Amino acid sequence: MYETQQKRPRALAVALDSGEYDVENSLCELSDLADTAGIDVVLKVVQRKEGADNATFVGKGKLEEIRQLIENEQIDILLFDDELSPVQIRNIEELTGLASVDRTMLILDIFAMHAKTREGEVQVELAQHRYRLPRLMGAGKAMSRLGGGIGTRGPGESKLESDRRHIQRRIQFLQSDLKKIENHRELTRKNRLKTGIPTVAIVGYTNVGKSTLLNRLTGAQVLVENKLFATLDPTARKLALPDGTTILLVDTVGFVSRLPHHLVKAFQSTLRESAYADLILQVCDVQSDQLPLQLETTKATLDALDIGDTEILTVFNKCDNTECMQRIPAGVQRDKYVAVSAKTGFGLEQLCARIADILRRDYLPIDVVLPFSQGQLETVLRDYGQITSLDYTADGVHITGRCRQEHAHLFAPYQK
């Protein structure tokens, strides 16, 4: 029996250089995204122009050059490093005869490949329908040409609806379904608060070793692959710190540069884990040539999530040798980062100690006797602090534990 390996499509990547961002880095990232989706980028074309052409994105002359390259290089698909309008998609495909996939469609396809939970599947399908709805009029030919490839994967996507009203009804259903899932997640968060277990969110650029770090610290069995967005759904695991404190480590979906705002919004419920955390670990790949981009992308995404004054500890991962340490940007304050190797275990003890130290700043030890008339304070401690011991005496309830600094004044009158 002979096994036949499916040939990977050959793609030509197209970018517009208007001076707003680093086009070279962005195209490298687009190539990585394409590789994850099973596409080989064999050629890159950059059009230097102040703004996109409304009809063809790169202009008719440049598009004619691209058409010649398609014939000469046997290109199967065009990838665009920006989001295309329905008119642009139609005109480009009519002039080149090839399917055109923009950055958003490519990311959505990868999301669809890796969504495993119900929440992930709903978020992906909802984002896909919102993307496609304005593109149905005039883009039907483009969609049909894609067949079973990019942009057609995912829950329910094999039956792409051509009726706009049907898609709108589907969007309404998915929104309702996602709302129920978000309510359940919110209830889980509240229960988490009641346990008094601090939450530490692991965030960062996709494929920097977040899942490897989670596995190494907690013994979890989270999928680890050298691909972008290998894990899409958040994973939470308990971790005991050196001082005896138990925390909950939450691994979130990876970030990517220039992620369209509506995609950030689509995954708001998942990414919100970062906003609710007591501490955020910003993981970066110190060996990557795109380290500055990783830092910039993570900051921009966290700003969009409105994390407030939650403290951020940068974790420079993949510090496997002394040369790697020299790649850490000089501008990062020493007390704001830890260098580790999730692969070898280097620096992980120091990381756990730093996490414990930071979390201790938010909590104060208490030893109080609460009068029976102050039962509401016991509720406050259960919901927002941690109770170590509780004993009912003739004078009231003797409680030892920890409370958040903002609640310390409530317990001060009753300290032993």
Binding-site residue positions for GTP = 204-211, 229-233, 251-254, 317-320, 341-343
The 8-class DSSP code of residue 18 comes to -
H/E element, 339: strand 337-339
Nearest to 230 by CA among 239, 219, 222, 238: 222
Task: Find all residues with CB under 8 Å of 343, minimum gap 6, and list them.
Answer: 209, 212, 216, 318, 320
DSSP state of 258: T
β pairing state of 397-404 and 363-370: antiparallel
14: closest CA among 146, 49, 296, 297? 49
Residue 45 host element (H or E): strand 40-48
- Among 285, 213, 287, 279, smallest CA distance to 251 is for 213
d(CA 146, CA 298): 32
Q: Answer yes or no: are the C-beta atoms of 400 and 388 closer than 8 Å.
A: yes
Instruction: Say how many C-beta atoms besides its own lie within 10 A of residue 199's C-beta.
Output: 20
Binding residues for Mg(2+): 211, 231
> 208: buried, middle or exposed (CB in 10 Å: 19+, 13-18, 0-12)?
buried
DSSP 289-331: TTHHHHHHHHHHHHHHHT-TT-EEEEEEE---SHHHHTTS-TT
Instruction: Give yes or no for a contact between 90 and 138, defined as CB atoms under 8 angstroms apart.
Output: yes
Amino acid identity of 128? Q
Binding-site entries: 204-211, 229-233, 251-254, 317-320, 341-343
Instruction: Give the number of other CB atoms < 10 A from CB of residue 180.
Output: 10
**Contact indicator for 192, 248 with CB cutoff of 8 Å:** yes
189: left (phi over 0), alpha (psi -120 to 50) or beta: alpha
